[in-house]
Chains A and B, each alone.
Chain A
Amino acid sequence: MKIGAYVGGIGVLGPGFGNWGEACAVLSGRRPYAPAPAVLPPPALLPPTERRRTGRVVKLALAIASEAADAAGLVAGRLRSVFSSSGGDGHNCHALCAALAATPREISPTRFSNSVHNAAAGYWSIATGATLTSTVLCAFDASFGAGLLEALAQVTVDRVPVLMVAYDTEYPEPLHSKRPFPDAFGAALVLTPAEERNSSAHIEATLGPGLLDSMTDAQLEALRTSIPAARSLPLLRQLALGLCGRTVLEYMDVAHLIVEVEPCR
């Protein structure tokens, strides 16, 4: 069985991309890519006290999730979600590990509860009142593919709309040397079982061997290979072009994610 869904809304944030509109202009070839550090807005959804305390990973995930839900014209609080990240909040992790290596060991309770991999999904559900389930995943470099596969399986099997959010932020040193993400990147898609007013394309995925798609622009290709969530770029390019086609996304070493894209009329 193929798993498929309609794409109802897209959110993107990363170096040189403030939103999907900006990414779309670059990926469709209408504008050259001009890399600049990713700017992560304070999450408008959260109360001011929480807003100040949230780390970059929560800011990124909430920004792209909101953008995708708004673009789909769907109420965020009524969506199921799949969050997928290669590593969660690296700055928070560094602070905890540094505190555990110090004497005396003084751990911030807030840092600890924010250290769970599902922190961004937790803040999202609290902020939007989303009581439908969130599944939070990690598959290292394959985290985007794993998130898309899970979300498409949910849409196909359970016949419900799903918000898929893939996001990664950089680690500070000394972890940065071990996991050198240059910046933050995230992509979110609202996926629905039936065509909706705002649907832009139908996508269908299978697992199998294939030649991985890359980006023609050297800087975009560097972005694709350096941040796991940016492995989504070939799919985003196909969606930006609005053309029928197939993209092969990185997943497991022996099986890639082959995605057929068909724009809605």
Chain B
Amino acid sequence: MTPLVLKRFTATSCIGRGIAQTLSSLSAERGGLSRCDFESAEIDTYVGTVAGVDDCALPADLGRFDCRNNRLAEMALREDGFEAAVREAAARLGARRIGVFIGTSTAGILQTELAYRRRDPATGALPAQFDYGATHNSFSVADFLRRRLRLEGPAVVVACACASSAKVFATARRMIEAELVDAALVGGVDSLCLTTLYGFHALQLCSASPCRPFDIDRDGISVGEGAAFALLERTGADLASGDVLLLGVGESNDAYHMSAPHPEGNGARRAMQDALSDASLEPAAIDYINLHGTGTPSNDRAESKAVISVFGAAVPCSSTKGATGHTLGASGALEAVISVLALRHGLMPGGVNTARVDPTLTAHYLRRNRAAPVSRVLSNSFGFGGTNCSLIFGRAG
């Protein structure tokens, strides 16, 4: 692919509101998981809650979009000059030339969960003020953002479970190459809700401890929430040394099982190989891999095999989900931003919470931070339905 530049980026999760806090937590190997006290959930697990979401009010004219998910989007938008960067791009390129491509898995379904508790006892009807389209529907977050930022280009939500906000980079890349847009607001937003907490619990995938990706005792995920955005554009004469580029994207399907990865990691392997080929890079060109690394026995086993088959055991890799939790539909974009921080600051983040790496997982897993120059990073995201996406980022020379 023709590289695209990340003009601006931001991330908000339980390890920090904006880039500075996120980097500070990563540098200190500080995780943000806490015992689950979300809403009325009674599940023995840990979650990655973003503090202050409920206090972040939406602009009054967008009140119908009010829900935890859009509040989290609003909160993230205000960090790192991101809103101003988008407005500057809209003024420069035209609002119709900027696309909005956002990943989410559950959007504002929490509103519906709450509304179901307030059904009319006689008729069963949902409360009159419940607005399905602006809160529950997957598109609500992209619709909110385009209205909030007054963007008029193509807008869509990619909803491929936990690969959603990695795949938005692929959609944006195609829309820019097809000249349908000149810039793209890409990102992911997913917020805590009962559906995912009780759903993963029913699948026996929620750990009772803070999740420990690649640990010999790993026993499941910690559900998190987060929002991360990037503004993608073609490279131009103003490209500066140190600017971060999207170099390659690889996508595949396992075609194996709805909720379990292919045991040999075949789909994951093809996504990584396709990303390398899209970037015209050899495996040795990758300095660090940010793993999907959920902390379930099966994901980490399959992903390690896939990484070994493409890269051997030489490339350092880690999962940052021990710190952030699994932010599901936001994880692709959140970990894209973490990958960008790795490039910018020469920081390969160690896997928080992991005490003893499973010796059968032979990928080169980093338990502690490593300071080293990083020129190119690959980031993995995989999801239910067997959907896989790998992204490669690099620094302009």
Determine how close the nearest CB of chain A comes to the CB of B73; give it in whole angstroms.
Answer: 16
Our pick among B156, B202, B389 for the contact of A112 (Cβ within 8 Å) is B202
User: Which of chain B's residues have a CB closer than 8 A to the CB of A107?
Assistant: 198-199, 201-202
User: Which of chain B's residues have a CB closer than 8 A to the CB of A93?
Assistant: 109, 112
Taking chain B's interface residues, is the majority helix, strand, or loop, or is none over half, making it mixed?
mixed
Task: Check if A26 is an interface residue, CB within 8 A of chain B.
Answer: no
A135 and B170 contact, CB distance less than 8 A: yes
Our pick among B130, B203, B257 for the contact of A178 (Cβ within 8 Å) is B130
User: Which of chain A's residues have a CB closer than 8 A to the CB of B154?
Assistant: 146, 149, 207, 251-252, 255
Our pick among A87, A173, A174, A254 for the contact of B152 (Cβ within 8 Å) is A254
> In the complex, which residues 351-390 of chain B have their Cβ closer than 8 Å to any Cβ of chain A?
383-387, 389
Determine how close the nearest CB of chain A comes to the CB of B342; give it in whole angstroms.
Answer: 26
Alpha-carbon distance A116/B199, docked complex (angstroms): 11
User: Which of chain B's residues have a CB closer than 8 A to the CB of A3?
Assistant: 178, 180
User: Which of chain B's residues have a CB closer than 8 A to the CB of A174?
Assistant: 119, 124-126
Alpha-carbon distance A95/B155, docked complex (angstroms): 30
Determine how close the nearest CB of chain B comes to the CB of A47; give it in whole angstroms.
Answer: 13
B199 and A112 contact, CB distance less than 8 A: yes
Alpha-carbon distance A94/B380, docked complex (angstroms): 32
Task: Check if B235 is an interface residue, CB within 8 A of chain A.
Answer: no
A255 and B203 contact, CB distance less than 8 A: no
CB within 8 Å for A149 and B125 given contacts A114-B258, A252-B155: no
Our pick among A117, A126, A255 for the contact of B386 (Cβ within 8 Å) is A126
Alpha-carbon distance A178/B126, docked complex (angstroms): 8
Task: Check if A129 is an interface residue, CB within 8 A of chain B.
Answer: yes
Alpha-carbon distance A125/B383, docked complex (angstroms): 13
Alpha-carbon distance A77/B259, docked complex (angstroms): 20
- The total of chain A residues at the interface (CB under 8 A) is 64
B155 and A135 contact, CB distance less than 8 A: no
A134 and B199 contact, CB distance less than 8 A: no
CB-CB contacts of A194-225 with B at 8 A, as 1s and 0s?
A: 00000000000001000000000000000000
Alpha-carbon distance A207/B98, docked complex (angstroms): 13
Task: Check if A96 is an interface residue, CB within 8 A of chain B.
Answer: yes
User: Which of chain A's residues have a CB closer than 8 A to the CB of B81?
Assistant: none
User: Which of chain A's residues have a CB closer than 8 A to the CB of B61?
Assistant: none
Task: Check if B74 is an interface residue, CB within 8 A of chain A.
Answer: no
A123 and B175 contact, CB distance less than 8 A: no
Determine how close the nearest CB of chain A comes to the CB of B257; give it in whole angstroms.
Answer: 7
> In the complex, which residues 42-91 of chain B have their Cβ closer than 8 Å to any Cβ of chain A?
none
Task: Check if A130 is an interface residue, CB within 8 A of chain B.
Answer: yes
Alpha-carbon distance A123/B253, docked complex (angstroms): 11
Alpha-carbon distance A97/B108, docked complex (angstroms): 13
CB-CB contacts of B154-169 with A at 8 A, as 1s and 0s?
A: 1111111100000100
> In the complex, which residues 78-137 of chain A have their Cβ closer than 8 Å to any Cβ of chain B?
86-88, 93, 96-98, 100-101, 105, 107-109, 112-119, 121-123, 125-126, 128-137
How many A-B pairs fall under 8 Å by CB? 208
User: Which of chain A's residues have a CB closer than 8 A to the CB of B157?
Assistant: 137-139
Determine how close the nearest CB of chain B comes to the CB of A193; give it in whole angstroms.
Answer: 13
B384 and A153 contact, CB distance less than 8 A: no
Our pick among A100, A118, A131, A252 for the contact of B194 (Cβ within 8 Å) is A100
Determine how close the nearest CB of chain A comes to the CB of B152; give it in whole angstroms.
Answer: 5
CB within 8 Å for A134 and B152 given contacts A112-B199, A158-B174: no
Interface centre among B156, B177, B266 (most CB of A within 10 A): B156
User: Which of chain A's residues have a CB closer than 8 A to the CB of B259?
Assistant: 109, 113
Alpha-carbon distance A207/B152, docked complex (angstroms): 11
Task: Check if A28 is an interface residue, CB within 8 A of chain B.
Answer: no
User: Which of chain A's residues have a CB closer than 8 A to the CB of B201?
Assistant: 107
Alpha-carbon distance A140/B174, docked complex (angstroms): 21
Alpha-carbon distance A137/B126, docked complex (angstroms): 26
Task: Check if A232 is an interface residue, CB within 8 A of chain B.
Answer: no
Task: Check if B96 is an interface residue, CB within 8 A of chain A.
Answer: yes
Determine how close the nearest CB of chain B comes to the CB of A191; give it in whole angstroms.
Answer: 14
Task: Check if A51 is an interface residue, CB within 8 A of chain B.
Answer: no
Determine how close the nearest CB of chain B comes to the CB of A165; give it in whole angstroms.
Answer: 14
Alpha-carbon distance A116/B109, docked complex (angstroms): 12
> In the complex, which residues 157-201 of chain A have their Cβ closer than 8 Å to any Cβ of chain B?
157-158, 173-175, 177-179
User: Which of chain B's residues have a CB closer than 8 A to the CB of A156?
Assistant: 178
Task: Check if A150 is an interface residue, CB within 8 A of chain B.
Answer: yes
> In the complex, which residues 45-91 of chain A have their Cβ closer than 8 Å to any Cβ of chain B?
77, 86-88
Alpha-carbon distance A93/B132, docked complex (angstroms): 12
Task: Check if A154 is an interface residue, CB within 8 A of chain B.
Answer: yes
Task: Check if B267 is an interface residue, CB within 8 A of chain A.
Answer: yes
Of B20-28, B133-141, B209-217, which binds chain A?
A: B133-141
Task: Check if B179 is an interface residue, CB within 8 A of chain A.
Answer: yes
Alpha-carbon distance A118/B157, docked complex (angstroms): 12
A140 and B253 contact, CB distance less than 8 A: no
- B interface residue numbers (CB < 8 A to A): 96, 105, 109, 112-113, 116-117, 119, 124-126, 130-133, 137-140, 142-143, 152-161, 167, 170-171, 174-175, 177-180, 194-195, 198-204, 251-259, 266-267, 270, 383-387, 389
25 contacts between A and B (CB under 8 A): A86-B139, A97-B113, A97-B116, A98-B116, A101-B117, A105-B198, A109-B202, A112-B200, A113-B199, A113-B384, A116-B159, A117-B161, A121-B160, A125-B255, A132-B253, A133-B387, A134-B387, A135-B158, A135-B167, A136-B160, A136-B385, A137-B159, A140-B133, A207-B96, A255-B152
20 new A-B contacts, CB < 8 A, other than A1-B178, A149-B154, A177-B126, are: A96-B199, A97-B195, A98-B116, A100-B194, A108-B202, A113-B258, A116-B105, A116-B160, A116-B383, A118-B160, A118-B161, A121-B160, A131-B270, A137-B158, A138-B137, A146-B154, A157-B178, A207-B96, A207-B154, A255-B154
- A interface residue numbers (CB < 8 A to B): 1, 3, 77, 86-88, 93, 96-98, 100-101, 105, 107-109, 112-119, 121-123, 125-126, 128-140, 142-143, 146, 149-150, 152-154, 156-158, 173-175, 177-179, 207, 251-252, 254-255
